[in-house]
Structure 1
Amino acid sequence: MKKKMYVNELKVGAVLSYVSMGLGYLVSIIYTPIMLRLLGQSEFGLYNLVASVVAYLGVLNFGFGSAYMRYYSRYKTKEDNEKIENLNGMFLIIFSLLGLIAVFAGTILTLNTEVIFGAELTNTEISRAKMLMFILVINLGVSFPNIVFTSHITANEKFVFQKLVQMIKTIANPFVVLPLLILGYGSVGMVIATTLLNVVIEFINAIYCINTLHMKFSFKNFDFKLMKEMTIFTSFIFINLLIDQINWNVDKFILGRFHGTTSVALYGLAAQLNTYYLSIASTMSSVFIPRVHRLVANSDNSELLKLFTRIGRLQFIALSLIASGLVFFGRPFINFWAGANYDGAYPIVLILIIPVTIPLIQNIGIEIQRAKNMHQFRSWVYFFIALGNLGLTIPLAKIYGGIGAAVGTAVALIIGNGFIMNWYNHVKVGLDMKYFWKQILSFVPALAIPVTIGIIINIFFEIKGILLFLILGIIYVSIFSISMWYFGMNQYEKDLLGKPIKKLLKKDR
C-alpha cells in the first residue's frame, strides 16, 4: 500500500510538474510582452543587468541543499529521528547565517553600484540600479532559510504539494506585478511585488513542513564533525554553482560594461527563453532525484543506466521539438511576442540552446555523480572551462556584442559537456555512454522528415502574419509527432503517452 502511494505521488508529481511548467509558459507568453512594453527595452536591460550581479550572491548557499538531501536520506533509511532533528536544526542555523552574509555582501555591492556597472549607464540608471539591487538582495537573504524547508519537502517526495505551490506562484505573479507596472512603478515596483510574493510562498512551505510533515528541530548538539564532512562534500557543488553563474550571468554583466542596457535587454530575452528550455529538462529529472540516491545506496548500476537512458530519451524528444521549432520559427515568434526591436535575440538564443541540449539530456547524471560522491572531477573541469568561457567572452562580447558573448558560452558547453563529461561518465562513474548515445542517435531517422519540412517552409514562406505562423507551426508539430511516434519512440515511450489517453477515452464512454 505504501509503495503504491509512493508511485502515485511520483506520477502525480511528474504530471503536475509539466502542468506547472506548461502553465508557466502560458502565463509567460501572455505576461512577458506586456511587461516588456510597459518597462521599455532600456529598463528591462537594466533589471537583467542588476539581477545577474545579485545572482552571484546566490552561490553563498554553498550547495548545502544537496547535502541535506544526502544526509536526510541516510538517516531516514535508518529511522534515526534524533539525527534528523539535529540535521534540521543545523541547516536552519547554517542557512540563516548564510542569508545574513548575503545581505551584508549585497549591501556593499549596492553602495558601489557606480564602480560595478561602469560608465555606460546614465545617472538615472545608476540610481535605479541601487534601488533594484537593494530590494533583490533582501529578497535573496530572506530566501536562504527557506532552503531547508524546500529541501525537506523534496526529500520526503511531496511533489504534489511542491508543484501546486509552484503553480499558485506562477499564476499569482503577473496579477501582483502588472498593476504596479501599469501605475508606472517600473522595475522597482516589479521587484518589490515579486519579493513580497516570495515571502508568502516561503511562509507556506515552512508551515507545511512543521504542521503536516511534523518537521522538528534540535539546536542542542551542533555536529561539527558532520559540518566538516558536509563542507567537503558541498565545496565542489559550490564550484558548480559558481560556474553556472559564470556561464549564464557573466555575459550580461560584460555586455552592460561594454554596450549598455539595450544590448543586455536582447541577451536577457534570449537568456529567458534559454531558461525555459533548461526548465523542461530539469522538471522531468527533478522528481527522480530521491530514486537516484536509493539506487546508488543499493549499488544498482544497471538500473541507474536504464533510468539515465530512459529519462535522457524522453528529454531528447521534448527538447528536439523545441530546438528545431526555434530554428525554423524562432525569428517570427520573437518578433510577434516581444516586438521587432528584439529581433537581435534570435541568433543569440539559437547559439545558447543548441549546445546546451547535450548536458540537458544527461542532467540526471549530475545527481548520480553527487549520490556517488564523484562530483569533484566535474567541478574542476567546469571551473577551468568557465574560466576559458570568461576569457573568450570578454573580447568576443566587446567586438560582436551579444552574439560574441553567446559563442563564448557555447564553446565552453561543447568542450565541457560534449566531450569531457561524457568520457568521465563512461570511464569513471560507470554509465555506459556508448549505449546511451546509441539510444539517442536512434532518433535521427525520426528527425529527418520534420527537419526537411522545416527547411521547405522557410524557403517558400515568409512568415509575417500570426495566423500563418500558427498554421505552419501546427503542421510542423503534427509532422514531428507522427514521425517521432513511428520512427523514433520505443514501446515504453509510446505507452507512457498512449495509456493515459486510452484511459481517458474509456472513461468518456
Structure 2
Amino acid sequence: MLRARSFNQLKMGTFLSYVSIGIQNLTAMIYTPVMLRLLGQDQYGLYQLSNSTVAYLGLLTFGFGSSYVKFYYDYRVQNDEEGIRKLNSIFLLVFLAMSVLCVIAGAGMVLSADFLFGGSLTPGEIQEVRILMVVLIITMALTFPNIIFDCYITAHERYIFQRMLLIMVNVLNPFIGLPLLLMGYRSMSLVMANLILSLLRVGLNVYYCVRKLHMKFQFKGMERGVLKRVGTFSFYVFLNEVANQINWNIDKMVLGAFQGAGIVALYSVGSQFNQYFINMSTAVSNVFIPRVNKMIAEGQGDDKLTELFVKIGRIQYIILGAVLTGYLLYGKFFIIKWAGQEYEGSYLIGAVIMLPTMIPLIQNIGIEIQKAKNKHKFRSVTYFLIALANLIVSIPLAIRFGALGSAAGTALATVAGNVLLMNWYYDRHVGLDIYVFFRSMLRPTAALLIAAAVGLCVRLFIPVDSWPAFIGEAVLFLGVYLLCLWYFGFSSDEKEQAERILANFKIKREEKNGADL
C-alpha cells in the first residue's frame, strides 16, 4: 500500500512538475511582455541587478538544505524516530541562525551599493537598487527557515502537495504584481509580489509538515557530532552552490558594473530561457532524490544506479532535445514578438548559454548519486575553481563584447567543468557507466536530427515571420519528432509505457462518455 502510494506520488509529482512549468511558461508569455513594457528596459535591468546581487545571500545556507534528505534516510532505514526529531531540531536552529546572518550580510550589501554600481548607474538608480535589495533581503531571510520544512516534505515524497503549491504561486504571481505595476510601483511591484508569495509558501509548508506529516522536534539531547558530520558533508555542497551562483549570476553583476542596466535586461531575457530549460530538467530528477538516497542507504549496486541514471537521462533528453532544437529554429521570432525588437540580441545569448548546458542537465540525477555516496567533494572543488576562472574570463569579455561576451564565458566554463571533467569523474570514481549512458542517447538523437532537418528545410522555403507560420512549423517539427521517436527513438520499455498511458486515457475517456450518456 505504501509502495503504491509512493509510486502514485512519484507519477503525479512528475506530471504536476510539467504542469507547473507549463503554467509558468504560459504566465511568462502573457505577463512578461506586459511587465517589460510597463517597466521599460532600465527598470527591468535594475530589478534583475538587485535580484542577482541578493541571490548571493542564498549561499549562507552553506549547503545544509541539500544535505537533509541524505541524513534523514540514514536514520529512517534504522527506524530511529528520535534521531529524526533531533535532526529536525538541528537543521531548524541552523537555518534560523542563517536567517539572522542573512539580514546582517544584506545590510552590508545595501550600504555598499555605491561602491558596486557607482560606475554605471546614476545616484537615483542606485537609491532604487538599495530599496529593492532591502525587500529582497527580507524575503530571503524569511525563506531560510522554510528550507527544513520543504526538505521534510521531499523526504516523505509528498510531491503532489509541493507541486500544487508551486502551481498556485506561479498563478498568483501576475495577479499580485500586475495591479501594483499599473498603480505605478514599477520594479518595486516585482519584489513585493515575491515577498507576499514567499510568506504564503512558508505558512502553508509549516502547516502541512506539522498538521499533516506530524513533524516533531527534540531540542534536548542534540548531538554535536551530528552537526559536525552534517557540516563536513555540507561544506562541499556549499562550494558547489558558490560555483553555481558565480556561473549563473555573476554575469549580471559584471554587466551592471561595466555596461549599465539596459545590457543587464538584454542578458536577463536570454538567460531566462535557460532557467526554463533547467526547470524542465529538474522537474524529473527532483522527484527521484529520495529514491537515490534510499537505494544507496540500502546498499544497492552501481548497475542499478546506472540503470536509473540512464532511464532518467533519456526522459530528460527526449524533452530537452525538442525544447533546445525548437528554440534554435524558432526562438528569435518568438523573442522579438514576445519581448520586443530591442531584445533581439537576447536570442543569441540564450542559445550560447543553453547549448553547453544540455549534457549536464540530462545528467543531473548524477549529482544526487554523488551526494548520497558522499563523493561530491571533487565536483564541488572543481566547479568552484572553474567558476573562479569564469569570473576572471567574463570581466574582460563583458567589457569588450557586452552581454554576449559574458554568455560565452559561462558557456566555456560549463563545457570544461560540467561536461568534460564531470563525465570523466562519473565513469572513473562514481561508478556510473558513461559509455552506456551516451550509447542510450543515439536513437533519440537520430529522431531529433531528422525532425530538425525537416524543420530547417521548411523554414528555408517558408520564413517564420508571422504567428501562423511559427505555430504551423513548430507543430510540424514536433509531429515529425514524435513519429520518429515512436518508430525507432523509444526503447521497448518507453514504448510500452507510452502505450499504457494512451490506453488508460482511452479507458477514462470511454468511461466519461458512458457516464454522460
Of residues 8-17 and 312-321 in structure 1, the stretch that sits farther from structure 2 once superposed is: 8-17
Could you tell me how far apart the structure 1 residues matched to 2:359 and 2:118 are?
Answer: 36
How far off is 1:506 after superposition?
Answer: 2.0
How far off is 1:445 after superposition?
Answer: 2.1
Could you tell me how far apart the structure 1 residues matched to 2:194 and 2:227 are?
Answer: 33
1:82-481, aligned counterparts within 5 Å? 82-300=82-300, 301-481=302-482
* Contact residue 336 and residue 466 of structure 1 kept, 8 A: no
Could you tell me how far apart the structure 2 residues matched to 1:326 and 1:8 are?
Answer: 33
Could you tell me how far apart the structure 2 residues matched to 1:450 and 1:332 are?
Answer: 19
The secondary structure found in structure 2 opposite 1:497 is: helix
The secondary structure found in structure 2 opposite 1:119 is: coil
The secondary structure found in structure 2 opposite 1:218 is: coil
Could you tell me how far apart the structure 2 residues matched to 1:437 and 1:100 are?
Answer: 46
Residue 482 of structure 1 corresponds to: 483
How far off is 1:444 after superposition?
Answer: 3.0
Amino acid at match of 1:248: W
The secondary structure found in structure 2 opposite 1:442 is: helix
Deviation per residue, 1:280-307 (Å, 9 max, x gap): 0111101101110111122322111111
* Contact residue 459 and residue 473 of structure 2 kept, 8 A: no
Of residues 259-268 and 6-15 in structure 1, the stretch that sits farther from structure 2 once superposed is: 6-15
The secondary structure found in structure 1 opposite 2:157 is: coil
How far off is 1:88 after superposition?
Answer: 1.0
* Contact residue 254 and residue 394 of structure 1 kept, 8 A: yes
Could you tell me how far apart the structure 2 residues matched to 1:325 and 1:64 are?
Answer: 37
Amino acid at match of 1:101: L
Amino acid at match of 1:28: A
How far off is 1:463 after superposition?
Answer: 2.1
Amino acid at match of 1:239: L
Amino acid at match of 1:448: L
Could you tell me how far apart the structure 2 residues matched to 1:49 and 1:59 are?
Answer: 17
Could you tell me how far apart the structure 2 residues matched to 1:236 and 1:496 are?
Answer: 38
Amino acid at match of 1:337: W
Amino acid at match of 2:488: F
Could you tell me how far apart the structure 2 residues matched to 1:244 and 1:10 are?
Answer: 27
* Contact residue 96 and residue 144 of structure 1 kept, 8 A: yes
Residue 31 of structure 1 corresponds to: 31
Amino acid at match of 2:335: I
Could you tell me how far apart the structure 2 residues matched to 1:266 and 1:177 are?
Answer: 21
Could you tell me how far apart the structure 2 residues matched to 1:337 and 1:302 are?
Answer: 46
* Contact residue 23 and residue 167 of structure 2 kept, 8 A: yes
Could you tell me how far apart the structure 2 residues matched to 1:396 and 1:480 are?
Answer: 37
The secondary structure found in structure 1 opposite 2:463 is: coil
Could you tell me how far apart the structure 2 residues matched to 1:18 and 1:498 are?
Answer: 20
Residue 55 of structure 1 corresponds to: 55
Could you tell me how far apart the structure 1 residues matched to 2:443 and 2:495 are?
Answer: 15
Question: Percent identity of the aligned residues?
Answer: 41
The secondary structure found in structure 2 opposite 1:387 is: helix
How far off is 1:349 after superposition?
Answer: 0.2
Could you tell me how far apart the structure 2 residues matched to 1:50 and 1:125 are?
Answer: 11
Could you tell me how far apart the structure 2 residues matched to 1:435 and 1:30 are?
Answer: 42
* Contact residue 13 and residue 163 of structure 2 kept, 8 A: yes
Amino acid at match of 1:13: G
Give the total of aligned pairs.
509
Amino acid at match of 2:399: K
Could you tell me how far apart the structure 2 residues matched to 1:141 and 1:333 are?
Answer: 36
The secondary structure found in structure 2 opposite 1:477 is: helix
Could you tell me how far apart the structure 2 residues matched to 1:496 and 1:273 are?
Answer: 30
* Contact residue 446 and residue 488 of structure 1 kept, 8 A: yes
* Contact residue 24 and residue 170 of structure 1 kept, 8 A: yes
Could you tell me how far apart the structure 1 residues matched to 2:307 and 2:37 are?
Answer: 47
The secondary structure found in structure 1 opposite 2:118 is: helix
The secondary structure found in structure 2 opposite 1:82 is: helix
Could you tell me how far apart the structure 2 residues matched to 1:31 and 1:494 are?
Answer: 37
Deviation per residue, 1:6-42 (Å, 9 max, x gap): 1112112121111112111111111111111111111
Could you tell me how far apart the structure 2 residues matched to 1:39 and 1:98 are?
Answer: 33
* Contact residue 90 and residue 219 of structure 1 kept, 8 A: yes
Could you tell me how far apart the structure 2 residues matched to 1:242 and 1:481 are?
Answer: 39
Deviation per residue, 1:177-212 (Å, 9 max, x gap): 110001110111221122011111111100110111
Residue 503 of structure 2 corresponds to: 502
Of residues 122-131 and 441-450 in structure 1, the stretch that sits farther from structure 2 once superposed is: 441-450
Could you tell me how far apart the structure 1 residues matched to 2:243 and 2:304 are?
Answer: 30
Deviation per residue, 1:114-147 (Å, 9 max, x gap): 1111321112211110100000001000110010
* Contact residue 103 and residue 137 of structure 2 kept, 8 A: yes
Could you tell me how far apart the structure 1 residues matched to 2:483 and 2:242 are?
Answer: 42
* Contact residue 50 and residue 129 of structure 1 kept, 8 A: yes
* Contact residue 397 and residue 403 of structure 1 kept, 8 A: yes
Amino acid at match of 1:451: A
Could you tell me how far apart the structure 1 residues matched to 2:482 and 2:92 are?
Answer: 47
Amino acid at match of 1:166: L
* Contact residue 31 and residue 174 of structure 1 kept, 8 A: yes
Q: What TM-score, normalized by structure 2, do the two folds share?
A: 0.97
Residue 515 of structure 2 corresponds to: none
* Contact residue 118 and residue 126 of structure 2 kept, 8 A: no
Could you tell me how far apart the structure 1 residues matched to 2:45 and 2:182 are?
Answer: 19
Supply the RMSD in Å over aligned alpha carbons: 1.1
Could you tell me how far apart the structure 2 residues matched to 1:154 and 1:428 are?
Answer: 28
Q: Does 1:42 align with 2:42?
A: yes
The secondary structure found in structure 1 opposite 2:144 is: helix
Deviation per residue, 1:144-189 (Å, 9 max, x gap): 0010100100011111111111111111111011100011101112
How far off is 1:507 after superposition?
Answer: 2.5
Could you tell me how far apart the structure 1 residues matched to 2:462 and 2:118 are?
Answer: 45
How far off is 1:494 after superposition?
Answer: 2.0
Structure 2: tracts of 5 or more residues without a match? 511-517
Could you tell me how far apart the structure 1 residues matched to 2:12 and 2:97 are?
Answer: 36
Could you tell me how far apart the structure 2 residues matched to 1:162 and 1:448 are?
Answer: 36
Residue 67 of structure 1 corresponds to: 67
The secondary structure found in structure 2 opposite 1:65 is: coil
Could you tell me how far apart the structure 2 residues matched to 1:39 and 1:168 are?
Answer: 25
Could you tell me how far apart the structure 2 residues matched to 1:26 and 1:341 are?
Answer: 22
